[in-house]
Amino acid sequence: MKLIRARVMLATGLIAAAGTLTGTLLAAAPASAAAPPVVVIACGKSMVRPAVYDIGCMPSNEFIGGLSWASWRSVAFGSGALKVNNCTPTCAMGKFVRFPILVVLWRAVPWPHHPGRDYFSRLTWIFTGKRPARAPVTQTFTLPAR
């Protein structure tokens, strides 16, 4: 019985030492060995943690602004505001109305013609307060690779 207990203790110690060594080696690895961050594409430009994102790729009547990111890995989580032009009395003279949202960028896939780089191909926003008339609480969009 004492022999079994000793083997268990030895195995536990070896596993702990191996985990510590692995963590130390990973922490000491050069930053260049790390994969480049996943990007979001807007108007042909790649961005990491953008403060503003325009899905329409041009000055439009709807965009996401004031973005703040809590995480940016294979999935990105943030918050901001959907800003929608009320087009009153016309769209040229309208004011932008702000709707608070949570933003999730997901489904990281290989970025065509950019070896070793991934981009987020989906964006989901979730309204956390008031929202535009007849808008669902959540909306998901497929994002272009260009």
Tens of pLDDT along 83-136?
999 999 998 999 999 999 999 999 999 999 999 999 999 999 999 999 999 999
In terms of domains, do 96 and 54 share one?
yes
* Residue 43 banded pLDDT, cuts 50, 70, 90: confident
Domain residue limits at 26: 2-33
In terms of domains, do 65 and 17 share one?
no
In terms of domains, do 27 and 81 share one?
no
Q: Which pLDDT value is given to residue 34?
A: 81
Per-residue pLDDT for 23 more than 90? no
In terms of domains, do 16 and 81 share one?
no
Tell me the CA distances in angstroms from 93 to 61, 86, 88, 96, 117, one per residue in order.
11, 9, 7, 10, 41
Percent residues over pLDDT 90 in the chain? 64
Number of domains observed in the structure of the chain:
2
In terms of domains, do 12 and 67 share one?
no
Classify residue 33 by its DSSP letter: G
In terms of domains, do 70 and 128 share one?
yes
Per-residue pLDDT for 1 more than 50? no
Q: How much is the pTM?
A: 0.74
β-partners of residue 124 are 104, 140
The residue behind tokens 């030492």 is: 17
In terms of domains, do 27 and 44 share one?
no
In terms of domains, do 46 and 28 share one?
no
In terms of domains, do 18 and 90 share one?
no
> Exposure string (b/e) for 8-28, b if CB count within 10 Å is 16 or more?
eeeeeeeeeeeeeeeeeeeee
